[in-house]
Amino acid sequence: MSYQDAVKAYRANPTKEVLNDQIQKLVSQMTLKEKIYMLSGHLGMQMQKDLIQTGRNYNVHSLAGGGCKRLGIPPILFTDGPRGVVMCNSTCMPSAVMRASTFDPDIEYRVGKVIADEAIAQGANLFAGICINLLRNPRWGRSQESYGEDPFVLGEFGKALTTSVQEEGMIACVKHFALNSMEDLRFYVDVHIDDKSLYEVYLPHFKKCVDAGAECIMGAYNRYEEIHCCENKKLLTDILRKEWGFDGFVMSDFVWGVYDAEHSIRAGLDLEMMFTIKYSEANIKKCINKGLINEEQLDERASNIIRALIRKQPEIQPRDLSVVGSEHSRSVALEAAEKGMVLLENNGVLPLKKDTSLVVCGPFADVANTGDHGSSRVYDKHIVTPYMGLKERFDRITLAGCTENKNPKKDPLPVANEVAFKADGDVAVVCVGFNYKSEGEYFVNTSYKLNEKPKDGGGDRLTLRLSDEEVALIKGLKNAGKKVVVLLYSGSAILCDEWKDYADAIVMYYYGGCEGGTALANLLLGEKNFTGKIPFTVSQKEEDYPEFKYIGQKPYVIDYGSYHGYSKLDKENKKAAYPFGYVLSYTSFELDDVKVDRTADTVDVSVTVKNTGDRDGAEVVQVYVGSANKATDRPVKLLKGFKRVEVKANNSASVTVQIDPEDLKFYDEGRWILDKEYTLFVGTSSSDANTRTFPISF
């Protein structure tokens, strides 16, 4: 029988029993060589061809792994993400953290539809852009790829993207499993953590994606309790398969994910990507001959991959290449940017009038700065920069002092003042922050030989603050008598205290994607209202964040605990500079008539949201829950439900947030328990929610 015969039988009777029977029949026909071939990536020549033809050698075309030509079993055809499809010239979406700022899983679902269309049109069947690692410290260089600091938000957005792409027949790959919240030391760091913190903080979002049907999990580079994640039986078998019931396949992170074939195969790693290195025929046969592994284990590894292919691959419908970069794709990118941009400060300068005289300046004013240049880079041919977007809408506009390559030999203050006093314009839009040189993916795989972090190498951030030159520019513009609107490029928090008083408005621009400049113009003009909310905490001091480590800070061992972000500040009774879930708007909202109803299956929190201003807008009702159990260490509160609602000016809307009691359980010595009494906190940010509390018992 062939793969197509197996697909046909399963489609005729789509039960687990029929599926497993068809898989067993296929695997029983495979030779040992074919089974081994099934378990690794097969690149090399294709990458060399791509490098010669395009100057790029990563994911220009889909990356193949597995497959059995004789039996018609197709290979895995991988494309990376999460800013969109990495192949060729796809649509660059706003960064994942910006999309999380929408607090709207529906827009993420629609982003997934665009990604699936463009991936399928270009020949992929697997999307590896569901990055749900937790932001525990904003120094993490790849925070832009994920959805912020909160496990509940990570789970909701990861579930939305997983569901969306898999409905189109794509295999969703969720990454990086697990505890991957540092970049520079990702190959070497050994994370130690107690089970309570592991299960309650770092794993629930992965389980939510598994429960949503994710067919693939990517293992992480880092160690967990001294064992590499891609050979960690506790993670890959005990938790993922036995506890959660996952029956898809696990692939390694690329190239350096697998260290020992025996350990990885025994632990439950199915597919080595993107080359055949440790899972080579010679290496695996040697392990079999020594009795370290057996062929039945290879059967299981191959079966997991084939199971995902049979379930998803036949659902793929062809797409025309015209969908790539289409008007529809870019319209979704624009909507995500409009809903995700966050207004942190505004003393009344915004919205601007169309006849305002503008000067746009700063290192990223007219630069296509869409984020990291590593595995998540999307090569969109048309990026609308802030200057381009504003120039389309404002007649009186100039560009001044725009240079991405800063000269550290020059004194930043005179340079900034020269720009500030020569620039022609009443309002200055200053584009500052970070780029791929200062945060993103880190490629130095010999970092253990280095004593310090290389300059401009990406990876984890060395600072949470703007450069001296950027601060001097902001201050110089204000001293020159201009109104100053600061745009912050970043994947997470930037501390603003040293220059905040010189800014009339501050906007989190993140990495705005292909239509970021268009979205900015619509928002600054007030044609769209700011509705995005930061999915992380901006602390008052860098010391308020958990411990972090860099190259040279040996030993490369770190302890992860239960507290970070708003939960840490709550525990320490500290205030944030900008709390989790915070935003300003061109209108104002009030929450009223809060009612709590515990049904048999849910806790329903009903709220009336009043728009008390004269502009349409959107608010996000956030429900946090804290246990009244004082005998055991418990967080003050944790987000357990949210809902975004559009409300017309001077109107009201009713919102109901449903909370699953399963989400309220705590992990206690190997079991999940529900406490007897809880307190609900209802509000529009982690700080605002403290003002509305409601008791509930079980």
- Average pLDDT for 20-32: 97
Q: What percent of the chain has a predicted confidence (pLDDT) above 90?
A: 86
Classify each residue of 77-86 as buried b or exposed e, where b means 16 or more C-beta atoms within 10 Å of its C-beta.
bbbbbbbbbb
Q: Where are the beta strands (DSSP E) in 185-226?
A: 190-192, 216-219, 223-224
pLDDT, greater one: 458 or 21: 21
Residue indicated by tokens 């305002």: 356
pLDDT of residue 368: 95
Judge whether 193 and 234 are in contact, CB under 8 Å.
no
**Residue-level pLDDT at 48:** 61
pLDDT band at 47 (very low <50, low <70, confident <90, very high): low
Confidence of residue 407 (pLDDT cuts 50, 70, 90): very low
pLDDT at 658: 96
Measured at the CA of 310, the angle between CA 304 and CA 313, to 5 degrees, comes to 115
What are the tens digits of pLDDT across the range 207-249?
999 999 999 999 999 999 999 999 999 999 999 999 999 999 9
**pLDDT tens digits, one per residue of 381-393:** 999 999 999 999 9
Residue (of 57, 122, 116, 113) closest to 89 by Cα position:
122
Q: Is the pLDDT of residue 663 over 60?
A: yes
Q: How far apart are CA 49 and CA 621, in angstroms?
A: 51
CB proximity list for 608: less than 8 A, separation 6 or greater = 591, 592, 593, 652, 653, 654, 655
Q: Give the percent of the chain with pLDDT over 70.
A: 94
For 79-131, how does the pLDDT look when each residue is reduced to its tens digit (9 = 90+)?
999 999 999 999 999 999 999 999 999 999 999 999 999 999 999 999 999 99
Q: Is 50 exceeded by the pLDDT of residue 447?
A: no
- CA-to-CA distance for 39 and 276, rounded, in angstroms? 9
Q: Is the dihedral of CA 497, 499, 501, 506 positive or negative?
A: negative
Model confidence at 412: pLDDT above 50: no
Query: CB of 687 within 8 A of CB of 628?
Result: no
* Paired tokens of 191: 């994370």
Evaluate if pTM is beyond 0.85: yes
In this predicted structure, what is the pLDDT of residue 421? 64
pLDDT tens-digit readout, 611-626 = 999 999 999 999 999 9
